[in-house]
Structure 1
């Protein structure tokens, strides 16, 4: 029997370019489907969601990043979850949905979101990363390969109409994780 993978679409909102000197302010993980090597099963709705807003871990921030995500650092200092609680809760949630399968993180592009989430899981979760050190899937690379596009032409703004998600990119982590899950499902179901 094949065990397979369980995919989680991820989106992070931060106050700068790299973790450590800067802070992850919010993140969302959305159940995006399972694949056993032959059949991809997407969810009927994207309603299995983990979302947290987190206390900043440093005093550093870039105003431009805050202007994009509209998150209030002062409010998060008071009301945000501790990074330890957020990452432990996320680990538990991912593993409860993955069951016997291997959890895989998917994002568009994965390089930014993976960097932040992996670093936060390693730095703050008692159990490490539920995605191991490398179980991440780059939706942008999949678009590039399946559509025969140069990687530089596979950005979200250049997707063909039939690959477009049903929702807008809002820079609210839940919305953007669901948007990416929709694109991921279309790629997974695409018979080239």
Structure 2
């Protein structure tokens, strides 16, 4: 693990973003999760560190076209992979 991910300098934050096929868990799918470490640098300022991005195969058939317009993920591709 890098010094940044270990929280070497000071305050460390984790920024997480998710995309879903609609607004209600259980009726719609979690489609992707992204996260990055954001840590305070010695001497001031902030720096992004390690990051991860995962796409998840849909389980439920439901999807809201408004959600799809926001995230732009290809549901057919996610279902196949």
TM-score by length of 2: 0.71
Query: How far off its partner does 1:41 sit?
Result: 7.0
Q: How does 1:1-20 map to 2 (within 5 A)?
A: 6-20=12-26
Change in CA separation of 1:48 and 1:18 when aligned onto 2, cut-off 3 Å:
same
Larger helix proportion of the pair: 1
The correspondence of residues 126-165 of structure 1 with structure 2, limited to 5 A, is none
2:60 is aligned with 1:58 = yes
Q: 1:64 Cα shift?
A: 1.0
Secondary structure in structure 1 of the residue aligned to 2:25:
coil
Point out 4+ residue stretches in structure 1 off by more than 2 angstroms: 40-43
Higher strand share: 2
| Whole-angstrom CA distance in 1 between matches of 2:49 and 2:39 | 12
Aligned-pair Cα RMSD in Å: 2.1
TM-fit CA distance, 1:69: 1.0
**TM-score, normalization by structure 1:** 0.32
Contact 1:55 1:76 in 2 (8 A): yes
Which ranges in structure 2 are unaligned for 5 or more consecutive residues? 1-9
Instruction: Report what 2:37 is aligned to.
Output: 31
Contact map agreement 2:38 2:49 (CA 8 A) in 1 = no
Q: Distance in 1 between matches of 2:64 and 2:34?
A: 21
Whether the aligned pair in 1 keeps the contact of 2:39 and 2:49 (CA below 8 Å) is no
Deviations 1:130-158, CA, capped at 9 Å, x for gaps = xxxxxxxxxxxxxxxxxxxxxxxxxxxxx
Residues 31-87 of structure 1: CA deviation (Å, up to 9, x unaligned): 0126xxxxx8732xx2411101110121111011111211111100112xxxxxxxx
Q: Secondary structure at the match of 2:39?
A: strand
Identify the residue that residue 107 of structure 1 maps to in structure 2.
none
